[in-house]
Amino acid sequence: MKRNILITGGAGFIGSHVVRLFVNKYPDYHIVNLDKLTYAGNLANLKDIEDRPNYTFIKADIVDFEAMRRIMDEHGIDGIIHLAAESHVDRSIKDPFTFARTNVMGTLSLLQAAKEYWETLPEKYDGKRFYHISTDEVYGALELTNPEGIESPFTTAASSEHHHAYGTEFFLETTKYNPHSPYSASKASSDHFVRAYHDTYGMPTIVTNCSNNYGPYQFPEKLIPLFINNIRHRKPLPVYGKGENVRDWLYVEDHARAIDLIFHKGTIAETYNIGGFNEWKNIDIIKVIIKTVDRLLGNPEGYSDELITYVTDRLGHDMRYAIDSRKLQKELGWEPSLQFEEGIERTVRWYLDHQDWMDNISSGDYERYYEEMYKER
Ligand code: NAD
Ligand code: TYD
């Protein structure tokens, strides 16, 4: 079946994996990648597919409603996978306005453009999809009731061998929204707008909330690529607070596979949580990263431990995120494919083998931003 699919934020980390998957897997689909190319957007992420006949890139800002409306019309868009966003919590603490602008106003502008365009068609919303990609951070923070970790009651192929849960509660699709950071507040607001367009106008929407992703092409301001890069350059590894915060990590290609499945088979107006039951304390995952980088660089074990530097905690730092993704497993049969130990090995290897990619983006403006952030701590 021919389809014209708009993917926003396709030059970013997760978006580039989604674009690559769709361009390769669906030669009959026309994939339109729309991205503003902010500091986080990088067309080098898509070098391998940029010349494909079923792929078009458009540089545009989702906040620009007239442009969104025109693009919907020009390309006859019948499906939208919306990933474009400001995505880094630390930046949102420094500059919340940019987050409200892109994440809230941008999502609204895209919703309204889709609504107006689809309402001009004889079949209206029939066969259409507006799929909004969100985060588990909208649910707020869980408590660390088991700081030493207990055997997790749930497991998937992505769970680590150590397989701990650090509390008894997990985020469900029914968990009440309780965002704390300007980032999660802006994502929560955009999620509400998406649901409002379904409930008010009958727009065929879907929302998914995923846990922390890791893998190739992630911008090196996020924990894993930042630390790999800093170890390589023997720079300090800034651990916020005591390093006890817990995150639930999923390999990015497994997220992209879930997005593909939900886009095609998910039920309209539903929410699905995406995660691999793979909780890690920051300090423990940092030790795994150090060990893996040192081994792959041929350094003696423990060589880079001295780089660990405890710094002032992030303001309002959420303690624990842990996703319950059993609904997606049960209803659509999604299972992650990659175990954490293999995923982290693949990820570290990728960054070490792609030093040119890292050097290109971590120069200039970003380097200055990062130095400033670090000085403040
Ligand atoms: P990213 O920061 O790597 O990429 C975001 C992309 O959006 C960039 O290419 C950027 O240029 C583009 N963009 C930003 N503002 C724009 C605008 N105004 N108009 C058009 N394009 C714009 O982010 P990511 O980590 O790939 O996250 C993608 C989406 O997934 C986000 O919506 C994020 O909230 C969500 N998410 C991320 C994670 C994670 O762990 N990274 C987890 C769950 C959900
Ligand atoms: P991050 O990758 O920014 O993702 P998020 O805040 O969306 O979960 O951070 C992951 C965890 O690592 C989070 O608890 C904050 C912590 N962290 C550090 O300790 N040091 C750092 O330099 C960064 C970037 C994050």
| Tens digit of each residue's pLDDT, the chain (377 residues) | 799 999 999 999 999 999 999 999 999 999 999 999 999 999 999 999 999 999 999 999 999 999 999 999 999 999 999 999 999 999 999 999 999 999 999 999 999 999 999 999 999 999 999 999 999 999 999 999 988 888 888 888 888 877 789 999 999 999 999 999 999 999 999 999 999 999 999 999 999 999 999 999 999 999 999 999 999 999 999 999 999 999 999 999 999 999 999 999 999 999 999 999 999 999 999 999 999 999 999 999 999 999 999 999 999 999 999 999 999 999 999 999 999 999 999 999 999 999 999 988 865 566 666 666 666 66
Q: Which residues line ligand 2 (CB under 6 A)?
A: 89, 212, 222-223, 226, 238-240, 245, 247, 282, 314
Confidence (pLDDT) at 31:
98
Bridge pairing between strands 55-59 and 29-35? parallel
Strand partners, 8: 34, 82
Cα 72 from Cα 82, distance rounded (Å): 13
Asked if residues 277 and 330 have their Cβ atoms less than 8 Å apart, the reply is no
Confidence (pLDDT) at 161:
78
For the chain, the domain total comes to: 1
Ligand 1 centre and the CA of 83: distance in Å? 5
Ligand 1 centre and the CA of 216: distance in Å? 15
Asked if residues 198 and 205 have their Cβ atoms less than 8 Å apart, the reply is yes
First vs last Cα of the chain: how many Å apart?
53
Closest residue by Cα to residue 148 from 163, 160, 165: 165
Cα 148 from Cα 66, distance rounded (Å): 53
**Residue of 78, 86, 137, 191 with catalytic role:** 137
**Residue of 136, 191, 253, 324 with catalytic role:** 136
Q: Has 183 been annotated as catalytic?
A: yes
Residue 41 in contact with ligand 1 by CB distance below 6 A: yes
Q: Has 272 been annotated as catalytic?
A: no
Asked if residues 223 and 282 have their Cβ atoms less than 8 Å apart, the reply is yes
Confidence (pLDDT) at 1:
76
Cα 178 from Cα 196, distance rounded (Å): 18
Confidence (pLDDT) at 366:
62
CATH of the domain at 268: 3.40.50.720
Confidence (pLDDT) at 367:
62
Q: At what angle do helices 107-119 and 65-75 cross, to 10 degrees?
A: 40
Q: Which atom of ligand 1 is nearest to the CA of 102?
A: 18
Ligand 1 centre and the CA of 342: distance in Å? 25
H helix intervals, the chain: 13-25, 65-75, 89-94, 96-99, 107-119, 182-201, 223-232, 252-265, 282-297, 326-332, 340-353, 355-361, 364-376
Ligand 2 centre and the CA of 93: distance in Å? 13
Cα 331 from Cα 272, distance rounded (Å): 10
The preferred substitution site among 13, 139, 194 for testing ligand 1, maximizing ligand atoms within 8 Å of CB, is 13
- Residues 232-261 as b/e (b if ≥16 CB within 10 A, e otherwise) read beeeebbbbeebbbbbbbbbbbbbbbbbbb
**Residue of 183, 214, 251, 272 with catalytic role:** 183
Asked if residues 277 and 334 have their Cβ atoms less than 8 Å apart, the reply is no
What Cα–Cα distance (Å) separates residue 9 from each residue in 37, 87, 166, 192, 193? 8, 11, 33, 20, 18
Range of the domain at 322: 3-375
Confidence (pLDDT) at 163:
77
Q: Which atom of ligand 1 is nearest to the CA of 214?
A: 40
**Which ligand is closest in space to the CA of residue 180?**
2
The preferred substitution site among 14, 186, 223, 235 for testing ligand 2, maximizing ligand atoms within 8 Å of CB, is 223
Nearest CA to ligand 1 atom 42: 212
Confidence (pLDDT) at 374:
60
Q: What is the pLDDT of residues 116-144, one digit of tens each?
A: 999 999 999 999 999 999 999 999 999 99
Asked if residues 165 and 301 have their Cβ atoms less than 8 Å apart, the reply is no
The preferred substitution site among 133, 180, 183, 222 for testing ligand 2, maximizing ligand atoms within 8 Å of CB, is 222
Q: Has 136 been annotated as catalytic?
A: yes
Cα 133 from Cα 160, distance rounded (Å): 25
The preferred substitution site among 135, 240, 287 for testing ligand 2, maximizing ligand atoms within 8 Å of CB, is 240
Residue 187 in contact with ligand 1 by CB distance below 6 A: yes
Ligand 2 centre and the CA of 7: distance in Å? 26
Instruction: Tell me how far the alpha carbon of residue 75 is from its chain's centroid.
Output: 26
Closest residue by Cα to residue 173 from 44, 243, 77, 269: 269
